[in-house]
Chain A
């Protein structure tokens, strides 16, 4: 049994069209999954049904053996946290400390334990010096890291990043990506929704959504070799791989092609 199992999942905002249409996927514990897809492909809707923010029209979501439903939603939400695109839309505390505490307060964690945890996780996301700061004084990247601390403090072991880097400048983006790498090393399951193909290349597997359906779900290296999947889903390949593909005919360029692949998969 997989850690996350999604079976026959459909969702619609109105009666006419399904935003999610018969999604069937399994995700293993500790995997890093990137979700790609054009605007309106259903990526964010999938994320919202996973955390129980939206109720599926049909189908089941099972996480760690527990099937998501009215009675289990509370249990499941503890396991899974979500970091949204706009850092300002999820900062609920008056200070960094309050914000990290928010989730734990809802779980009725005792005060002593809570203070300990706030310090522990603030340190983990490198925000210990900012505990008493207001959100207005933090950068977007710092706010995103505070959101992660709040999720970790609830002992969640699945984190969904819903275009969490798309509003950050390149420097803060890189910082957050490096941090997601360490979370992955620590064994957390990462589901990263993104438009940034270079970011997606860091994942173990890539899920390509197209018009509410799973268009492809494969190992990163494998899926990158299949240009068709990208073009037919309105996506662009990374520059290095576009070049590698265009040089594919000629043996003369083998060395260059290898370096282009190396660049794409490691940078």
Chain B
């Protein structure tokens, strides 16, 4: 077992509104391997708060978490080495530029591993390996992270987390701000890392096309509650996503429009353009 939430709630105090409960009574489990999970929900639904609990970056206000056998409560426990938890569960924030601070890409990637008592040579080797894993060549090692494009910065920050060799990888909107091609390259990369290493990967996203095409488990947050945990297609069939301030994948929306405007009866649950095309071409009544 990797991470288990037991009735976790988390509240923030704000000057204007007093206590604000970001996540409420959340219970679910993430296995320590083989998971590829999408986490979705409207802005302010509690996604990021949930993610920050996963490596004990923040503690629950009430309820408990078990992360690789360690029990996390609202109070800091002197017996728990939180650093070990953060090594096991790597978290990549939404704005990678906030995470890069060294003068070269190599030093930046080495920073994490160096905190875990390994030699400089080992850290260097890890940096190179992780950099290549995210699709950047060795020439990037000596470059200044500040002069990289947004997409490159994202990759370097992801390499920094990979270099720590976490068992579970949590990524907060890793594809936002990228063009569609860049988005797919990055998603393919995560899927590839997952397939090769069997690491569990949790990705926060708003992109339902990606959710449908890449994931077999989706968690949906709404106003602090976990309202769905399961297969994406089941979600699209059963929940009124618009009510939850979410959207449907484009293939479903387009096929549904054809059905309604032409009075035909296509199966709208198609993941890809190719599948949708086959459905249209194979339809008997047009």
Which of A's residues lie within 8 Å of B, judged by CB? Answer: 37-40, 85-86, 133-134, 136-137, 139-141, 163, 166-172, 195, 197-198, 234-236, 238-240, 242-243, 246-247, 252-253, 255-256, 259-260, 262-263, 267
Contact = CB atoms under 8 A, between A and B. Distances in A.
B250 A239 contact: yes
Categorize the interface residue count of chain B: 35 or more
A171 B42 contact: yes
B262 interface: yes
A36 B180 CA distance: 11
Contacts of A169: 41-43, 45, 206, 245-246
Contact of B276 (A40, A139, A239): A239
Given A39-B178, A255-B286, A256-B286, A243 B261 contact: no
Given A169-B206, A259-B262, A136 B246 contact: no
Interface string B252-269: 011001100110000000
Interface stretch (B10-18, B23-31, B54-62): B10-18
Interface in B169-183: 176-182
Nearest to A247: B280
Contacts of B247: 170
Interface in B120-163: 149-151
B273 interface: yes
Given A39-B182, A242-B273, A167 B254 contact: no
A167 B262 contact: no
B254 A260 contact: yes
Contacts of B1: none
Given A256-B262, A259-B257, A259-B258, A172 B179 contact: no
A236 B280 contact: no
Nearest 8 A/B pairs, CB to CB? A171-B245, A170-B247, A239-B250, A169-B42, A236-B180, A169-B43, A240-B254, A38-B179
Contacts of B176: 166-167
B14 to A, nearest CB: 6
Nearest to A44: B150
Contacts of A166: 176-177
Given A163-B177, A170-B247, A259-B257, A243 B276 contact: yes
B258 A256 contact: yes
Contacts of A253: 280, 286
B230 interface: no
A163 B177 CA distance: 8
Given A256-B262, A256-B286, A259-B261, A137 B273 contact: no
A172 B43 CA distance: 8
A195 B246 contact: no
B42 A239 contact: no
A195 B16 contact: no
Given A195-B178, A259-B261, 17 more contacts: A39-B182, A40-B151, A137-B16, A137-B17, A140-B43, A167-B177, A170-B206, A171-B42, A195-B177, A235-B181, A236-B181, A240-B250, A247-B277, A256-B286, A259-B262, A263-B257, A263-B258
B251 A239 contact: yes
A256 B67 CA distance: 52
Nearest to B12: A136
A134 B42 contact: no
